[in-house]
Amino acid sequence: MKATANRGVMSIVEGRSLKGRLVLGLFFAILVLTGIIIIFPFFFSFTAGLKNSTEIYRPGVNLWPASPDWGNYVEAWRRFNMTRMFWNTFVVAGGGVLAQLVVSSLAAFFLSRLKPIGSNLVMVLILITMTIPRIAYLVPLYMTLAKLPFINTSLINTFWGLWLPYAVNPFMILVLKNAFDSIPRQIYDAAEVDGATETRIFLQFTIPLSASIMLVLGLLSFIGLWGDFLLPLLVLRDSSMQTVSVRLFNLTRDFPMNLHMAGSFIAMIPPMFAAIFLQRYMKGGLTF
């Protein structure tokens, strides 16, 4: 039994041969190189935040400072008012994720379960919107937010000006529809025999059975919205409402670069820890 086991890419017997060891060594080297490339920006930002204002511009490879100044992180937190920026970013990203999950799950259930007339055309339109670059409709989106049709209300400088555009996520709708399609039909039939309405089926059966994939999509969405820059830059004009990425950009000329690097590393911590602590749920959701 052990002889027939495998390591994902080849069996143990194949892995013991010279060719198998070379292949495994190549895969290991690629994984190590990829890991270094991914981790390097975090490490560079962390060490740059420990340097003084002159050492950070020193030429050559100076990843670790001669005398680390840990007080830079305390000063960056205080001078940038990181507490306020973190709260704003949590509100923007959290509200965007909640809006995306609600709208996408309802749309996916509508297309998967109710199957209205023209659902195939709707799916085609959703796929088409995924091919359009975001920058292509940024100007019309901003003009719409500046003056909403019919009600003539501006959403500029409000969190609603971000939550409403964030609520529509074609990729999430497509993934959730495929997830809802994979739920056995017998579950829905049994619920209908018990007299369950479509609303009850959606809330008590579909959502719990798809919780793992929704958690993965929510986490990926949170990471993406946490670092979103362009739309918050256009919508949030008031400095007290700006997110981390926008506020750090606006303060570039007012503070030394080492404090900016320290603030940038602090801004990376929430999505990084969210991905680390929820990775086991991500594996189950991706498998689903």
Residue 52, Cβ density class (10 Å: 0-12 exposed, 13-18 middle, ≥19 buried):
middle
- 43/16: higher pLDDT: 43
Amino acid at 171: F
Q: What's the predicted TM-score (pTM) here?
A: 0.81
Give the chain's mean pLDDT. 85
Q: Give the count of beta carbons closer than 10 Å to the beta carbon of residue 165.
A: 20
Sketch the domain layout of the chain as residue ranges. Answer: 2-74, 83-287
Looking at the predicted structure, is the pLDDT value of residue 286 above 70? no
Quote the tokens at residue 66: 């001669």
Quote the tokens at residue 47: 């060490």
The architecture in CATH of the region 83-287 reads Orthogonal Bundle (1.10)
Nearest to 45 by CA among 259, 286, 282, 281: 259
pLDDT at site 210: 87
